[in-house]
Amino acid sequence: MSLSGDAGWLALRALVAAPGRSLALSAALGIAFGMPALTLSAAARAQQALQHRARETPVVIGAPGDTFDLAFAAMHFRPGGTRPLPWATLEQLAAPGVLLAPMHVVHTADGAPVVGTAPEYFEARSLVAERGRLPAVVGEAVAGASAARVRGLQVGHTLRSDLEALHDLSGEAPLTLTITGILEHTGTSDDNALFTDVRTAWALDGRLHGHGSLRADETLPGTTRAHAYGSGAVLPADTRPDALGAFHLHGGLAEQPLTAIVAFPKAPRDRDLLLDRIASADGIRAVRPDRVVSELLAIGHRVRDGLLVFLGLVGTATLALVALCLDLSRRLRAEETALLRRLGAHPMLVPRMHAIESATLIGLGLAFAALMTAAADTALAQAMTP
Amino acid sequence: MTPLLAILTGCVSSPPSSAVPEPTASVSVVAGSVTVHHLAERIGAGQPWELSLLPPVDADPGTWRPDAAAVSATQAADLILLNGAGYERWVTTTALPATRVVRTADGVPPLQTGRRTHSHGSDGAHSHGDVDPHTWMDPRAYETQAVAVHAALSRLPGADSTALDAALHALRDQLGQLDADLQAAAPVPAPPMASNHPSFGHLGRRLGLSIVSLDIDPAVPPDAGTMADIHDWAASGEMPVMLWEAQPSAAVMDALPATVVHLTLDPLEHPRPGRGYAHAEQAQTNVAALRSISRRRAPAESHRMGAGGGGR
């Protein structure tokens, strides 16, 4: 057998003879190598997802307040954190070169955000119903692909809106939403939401409602419809077609609330004109989500860079520890290696054996790092895709 | 119909189709009521878009609702013209585009007809104001709506602005003439006037007439409570005039005080049976009806000088 063959065989036997040590050292090396790669991969994925959604959401208009809250509420349907602005704002900003979509994101149904909007939203985002159709009247909803899958929703199913304040018997009544369609999968936050017309969202607010349409089986024995409504008790709102005719808005349409308006300009010039108009208006502001996300990513990049430095230090320390372990191992086997030399082994056999042993551990560590990064990346991709 | 032809033919529009608008690649305009459809047809005559009327031509705007297919087709329209002022009640609960809907009566000062107060939920008692949606009864208000329709149509792709302007000009002239005719026909001094349905509020406001709404079914004699209101109203002046949306039955006329003059006005909501909708032509019958009050009053005045009394 050649010198390298002898050295390799001896190195392998040494590694196999101490499997715990070999595995621990290769795992330590794998983590030291893999963590920076995993950090870079996760950061790149998050950046890609955020930037894609931001690019697809050119301008968000809202009431003065936190920029991040407004942008992320409109992009990813996070309820709360934004002040309402009136419907009149949307009508005032309407212009031929811009598609404006109202957003009312306040309520949830079975934990999914209920996004009150208008047909313009579906047009601008090219959202189409894979099954069924888009909402036509108050009480109807179309479910995002993931929202439907997770809840087992099908066309024709109904879903009760979530009560915000269970202890408040005089609070707004829940609304039964009828699923009229399931949207195609998009890989965006749209997959996780339930979409209704903005009027349904106002019905959830209690701003749009009818009166006296309870069925006989919905009242307690000995009570009447008048009793039921007069009690102020929470009752399911009735959105059957024959009841919708009596629905009315509290206040004028112009003053009904929106949480945001998403603007989809047809050209950069239309966007700039819109932004100019908003800049000179009182009580509203416009944010460009791509810039908001860039700001966020700049912070994220600094965190990422700091983390990489930290991981570099940890990795260096790990390498040093592995080197110490290998040196200790070499010292522990000093008598055996001296015996080999006395028996006439080639002078390079022992150094080469140690080199191959170290190289094998590093190779195993790299393989471990590759496997870990691939598995984590796949898990991240699944976690970040709605 | 070209604008010139429209003028020459007396501006009688063809019967509006009531088919559900089909989404097409071409520009489509959907009207939510006969009156607005008429404006769009007049002003947009000869333009390259498809105009359709959403509700059936004889539908009751208070109770009619579009089905889901009609709503889906309407959502795809480039422009949705509504009368507004609460006329198309189905709009309150229908998912329509936020920025392609034009409520043409938004520029018309609202005319409150009453308030309802109730309470529910945590907000306590509150009131809802009712607004008279019959804006087209006032030629000047209808003209304001025509201007809104013109502005909306002018923004559509392929619009011929010269033709649109000419058509609007012709329509405004016609409405101006109608307004003058109505002003000339309005009785002066005004007698006590009431209507069986709050359809003539805008007309009354334009003509300076105070018209009380008494909510009477033309086919069913009023109940005792309503009769008391009618007697109070009829006693408030000489030759009280009751305006009807439809010809009242003989039983109803007999039930009312003999001094009441009954006058049937066209609410201009629908075309006459078997004919196309023609706002100006139909409104001229109202002009003639209002003139008849003055004609009735003249003999009554001379008769009173001799013997006194009134009649129907």
Name the residue among A102, A119, A171 with its Cβ closest to that of B75. A119
Cα dist from A158 to A117, A183, B150, B255, whole Å:
19, 16, 43, 52
Tokens linked to A281: 């208006």
Q: Please check the confidence at residue A328 and state whether its pLDDT lies above 80.
A: yes
Checking DSSP bridges between strand A285-287 and strand A59-62, what pairing results, if any? antiparallel
Partners of A117 in beta bridges? A197
Cβ separation B99–A94 shorter than 8 A? yes
Instruction: Give the pLDDT confidence score for residue A241 in this predicted structure.
Output: 64
Q: Please check the confidence at residue B227 and state whether its pLDDT lies above 70.
A: yes
Mean pLDDT of chain A: 86
Average pLDDT over residues A230-250: 58
Cβ separation B95–A100 shorter than 8 A? no
A contact test, residue of B71, B82, B93 with most A CBs within 10 A:
B93
CB A313 within 8 A of CB A305: no
| pLDDT grade for B296, boundaries at 50, 70 and 90 | confident
State which amino acid sits at residue B284.
Answer: Q
Does A94 contact chain B (CB < 8 Å)? yes
A342 versus B15: which is more confidently predicted? Answer: A342
Average pLDDT over residues A46-51: 87
pLDDT tens per residue across span B140-168? 999 999 999 999 999 999 999 999 999 99
Instruction: Average the pLDDT over each of A168-177, A191-200, B274-283 and give the range with the smallest value.
Output: A168-177
Name the residue among B89, B99, B126 with its Cβ closest to that of A120. B99
Instruction: Give the pLDDT confidence score for residue B240 in this predicted structure.
Output: 94
Q: How far apart are CA A91 and CA B173, in angstroms?
A: 30
A378 versus B11: which is more confidently predicted? Answer: A378
Name the residue among B68, B97, B155 with its Cβ closest to that of A118. B97
Contacts of A242 (CB under 8 A, 6+ apart): A213
Tokens linked to A14: 């040494």
Average pLDDT over residues B18-47: 82
Nearest CA in chain B to A94: B99
| pLDDT grade for A4, boundaries at 50, 70 and 90 | confident
Contacts of B292 (CB under 8 A, 6+ apart): B263
Tell me the Cα Rg of chain A. Answer: 32
Q: Please check the confidence at residue A42 and state whether its pLDDT lies above 90.
A: no
| pLDDT grade for A82, boundaries at 50, 70 and 90 | confident
10 Å CB burial of residue A261 (0-12, 13-18, 19+) is buried
Shortest alpha-carbon distance between residue A96 and chain B (Å): 7
| pLDDT grade for B304, boundaries at 50, 70 and 90 | very low
Instruction: Give the pLDDT confidence score for residue B129 in this predicted structure.
Output: 54
Cβ separation A250–B121 shorter than 8 A? no
A173 versus A4: which is more confidently predicted? Answer: A4
Cβ separation A245–B89 shorter than 8 A? yes
Instruction: Give the pLDDT confidence score for residue A251 in this predicted structure.
Output: 79
Instruction: Give the pLDDT confidence score for residue A46 in this predicted structure.
Output: 84
Cβ separation B95–A245 shorter than 8 A? no
Question: What percent of chain A is modeled with pLDDT above 70?
Answer: 87
Instruction: Give the pLDDT confidence score for residue A225 in this predicted structure.
Output: 44
Q: How far apart are CA B50 and CA A225, in angstroms?
A: 46
Residue B306's SS3 state is helix
Average pLDDT over residues B246-275: 93
CB B199 within 8 A of CB B266: no
Average pLDDT over residues A14-33: 90
CB A269 within 8 A of CB A97: yes
Name the residue among B93, B121, B128 with its Cβ closest to that of A244. B93
Residue A33's SS3 state is helix
B77 CB neighbours in chain A (<8 A) are none
Q: Please check the confidence at residue A173 and state whether its pLDDT lies above 60.
A: yes
Cβ separation B121–A249 shorter than 8 A? no
Cβ separation A198–B98 shorter than 8 A? yes
Tell me the Cα Rg of chain B. Answer: 21
Instruction: Give the pLDDT confidence score for residue A252 in this predicted structure.
Output: 84
Q: How far apart are CA A222 and CA B92, in angstroms?
A: 34
Instruction: Give the pLDDT confidence score for residue A172 in this predicted structure.
Output: 58
Instruction: Give the pLDDT confidence score for residue B299 in this predicted structure.
Output: 62
| pLDDT grade for B258, boundaries at 50, 70 and 90 | very high
| pLDDT grade for B14, boundaries at 50, 70 and 90 | very low
A198 CB neighbours in chain B (<8 A) are 98
A358 versus B115: which is more confidently predicted? Answer: A358
Does A250 contact chain B (CB < 8 Å)? yes
CA B183, chain centre distance (Å):
17
Q: Please check the confidence at residue B305 and state whether its pLDDT lies above 60.
A: no
Instruction: Give the pLDDT confidence score for residue B271 in this predicted structure.
Output: 94
Average pLDDT over residues A18-40: 90
Average pLDDT over residues A225-240: 45
A102 CB neighbours in chain B (<8 A) are 98
Shortest alpha-carbon distance between residue B92 and chain A (Å): 7
In this prediction the ipTM stands at: 0.79
pLDDT tens per residue across span B37-70? 999 999 999 999 999 999 999 898 778 999 989 9
Q: Please check the confidence at residue A93 and state whether its pLDDT lies above 90.
A: yes
Instruction: Give the pLDDT confidence score for residue A6 in this predicted structure.
Output: 86
Partners of A179 in beta bridges? A141
CB A9 within 8 A of CB A289: no
Name the residue among A135, A211, A230 with its Cβ closest to that of B95. A135
Partners of A377 in beta bridges? none
Nearest CA in chain A to B84: A253
CB B286 within 8 A of CB B265: yes
Name the residue among A118, A136, A206 with its Cβ closest to that of B68. A136
Contacts of A200 (CB under 8 A, 6+ apart): A114, A116, A135, A138, A139, A140, A141, A175, A177
Q: Please check the confidence at residue B109 and state whether its pLDDT lies above 90.
A: yes
CB B137 within 8 A of CB B202: yes
Instruction: Give the pLDDT confidence score for residue A1 in this predicted structure.
Output: 61
Instruction: Give the pLDDT confidence score for residue A81 in this predicted structure.
Output: 74
Shortest alpha-carbon distance between residue A116 and chain B (Å): 10
Q: Please check the confidence at residue A33 and state whether its pLDDT lies above 70.
A: yes
B96 CB neighbours in chain A (<8 A) are 118-119
Instruction: Give the pLDDT confidence score for residue B1 in this predicted structure.
Output: 40
Average pLDDT over residues A370-382: 86
Q: Please check the confidence at residue B7 and state whether its pLDDT lies above 80.
A: no
Instruction: Give the pLDDT confidence score for residue A213 in this predicted structure.
Output: 46
Does A197 contact chain B (CB < 8 Å)? yes
Instruction: Average the pLDDT over each of A13-22, A192-201, A238-247, A362-371 and give the range with the smallest value.
Output: A238-247
